[in-house]
Amino acid sequence: MHEYTMNTYEVVNKFPKEEIYSSRSQLTRATLSIILNYIEGYSRRRKKVQLNFYEISYGSLNESRYIYYLALCKKWITKKDYDQGNLLADEIGKMLWSEIISTEKNIDN
């Protein structure tokens, strides 16, 4: 997640200046939300609360993935930039999904 965050901060510098308060800002916020919500969820004792934070983290990951795709379509970033972000996002997504499923199994219904 940290590597994805660092990559994102490099990539957004390629966005047009007029995007500084829109897609550029949104991408950095979404990317930070992934790791921050994961950390907060991990720090919680109750499984239902943990699950909520993990799901928010997963949602932020998908939000950031779309902005990467938008940036590629608008030609703000290269295919290489997109592929690198997508590779990292795939790894994070698998880890988060696994954590979500595992946490769900530990919740008493």
Give me the pLDDT at residue 29, please. Answer: 97
> Which has the closest alpha carbon to 68: 27, 20, 96?
27
**How far is residue 85 CA from its own chain's centroid?**
10
Angle (CA) 87-88-93 rounded to 5° is 100
| pLDDT value of position 108 | 66
Q: pLDDT for 24-83, tens place per residue?
A: 999 999 999 999 999 999 999 999 999 999 999 999 999 999 999 999 999 999 999 999
Q: Which CATH class is domain 2-105?
A: mainly alpha
User: pLDDT of 67-93, one tens digit each?
Assistant: 999 999 999 999 999 999 999 999 999
Token duo for residue 19: 């995007």
What are the sequence ranges of the domains in the chain?
2-105
Per-residue confidence (pLDDT) for residue 109, from 0 to 100: 56
